[in-house]
């Protein structure tokens, strides 16, 4: 049997570090663009009152029942004295801004520069039409000034916004506020999976987390969830969700 106890380890092969195929030289200056977006957003949003953020697909057409439902929800929310914040584009976003503008309520659009799909809708108040280069700055504006979040059916972008808000609430990085799923046909399967797999099988969340996800189908139910939340506990205040 060969004695290998005192043998030196085989020398490692010389490594070649990967190199960027191309790199922009102005990356450090990007921070000034980011700061300008934050300053513009804060100066605009600080002047308006409590708002509700509405999420949903950009692809939903005006004749679709969910578009029409979003219009009615936004109308009810502005009747209650809230402004409406959307992503500023077409589909559910347009419906939210349209409903707010129809009642004379505040209609805020947080636009994002995209190579497709996005272009601001005509129902945003001109002085409340904010344009963003960066998704993360836009998300701060969505979250900081919203007293509740209303999610209608959507795609990956809607899921991204929804689960980021849930994570921030769960980890106590922002104030606990209502997060309302609208459309039981669309959302019930997802919530069943969360209960059956994430909670019961994998035990990756706690049962209390499920309280963050009521599912409703009617504009009056949306308003009731929000009103009950703020009337039911004196610690639930109408205030920006976090300080920076």
45-99 confidence digits (pLDDT tens): 999 989 999 999 999 999 999 999 999 999 999 999 999 999 999 999 999 999 9
Low-confidence residues of the chain: pLDDT under 50: none
What pTM was estimated for this model as a whole? 0.87
Phi first, then psi: what are they for 169, rounded to 5°? -70, -45
Which residue ranges make up each domain of the chain?
A: 32-225
CB atoms within 10 A of CB 216: 19
CA 66 to CA 78: how far, in whole Å? 18
Q: For position 208, what pLDDT does the model report? A: 87
Determine the angle formed by the axes of helices 156-170 and 135-144, rounding to 10 degrees.
60
Whether domain 32-225 has CATH 1.10.357.10: no
Q: For position 243, what pLDDT does the model report? A: 66
């Amino acid at each position: 049997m060969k004695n290998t106890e005192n043998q030196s380890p085989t020398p490692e092969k010389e490594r070649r570090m990967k190199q960027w195929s191309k790199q922009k030289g102005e990356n450090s200056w990007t921070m000034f663009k980011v700061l300008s977006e934050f300053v513009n957003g804060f100066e605009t949003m600080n002047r308006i009152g409590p708002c509700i953020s509405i999420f949903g697909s950009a692809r939903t057409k005006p004749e679709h029942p969910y578009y029409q439902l979003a219009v009615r929800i936004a109308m009810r929310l502005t009747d209650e004295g809230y402004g409406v914040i959307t992503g500023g584009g077409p589909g559910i976003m347009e419906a939210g801004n349209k409903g707010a503008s129809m009642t004379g309520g505040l209609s805020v659009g947080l636009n994002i520069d995209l190579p497709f799909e996005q272009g601001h809708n005509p129902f945003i108040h001109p002085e409340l039409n904010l344009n963003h280069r960066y998704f993360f700055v836009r998300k701060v504006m969505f979250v900081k000034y919203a007293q509740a979040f209303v999610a209608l059916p959507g795609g990956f972008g809607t899921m991204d916004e929804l689960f980021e808000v849930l994570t921030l609430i769960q980890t106590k990085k922002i104030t606990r506020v209502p997060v309302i799923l609208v459309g039981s046909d669309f959302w019930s399967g997802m919530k069943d999976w969360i209960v059956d797999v994430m909670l019961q099988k994998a035990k990756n969340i706690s049962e209390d987390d499920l309280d963050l996800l009521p599912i409703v189908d009617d504009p009056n139910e949306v308003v009731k969830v929000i009103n009950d939340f703020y009337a039911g506990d004196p610690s639930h205040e109408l205030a920006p969700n976090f300080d920076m």
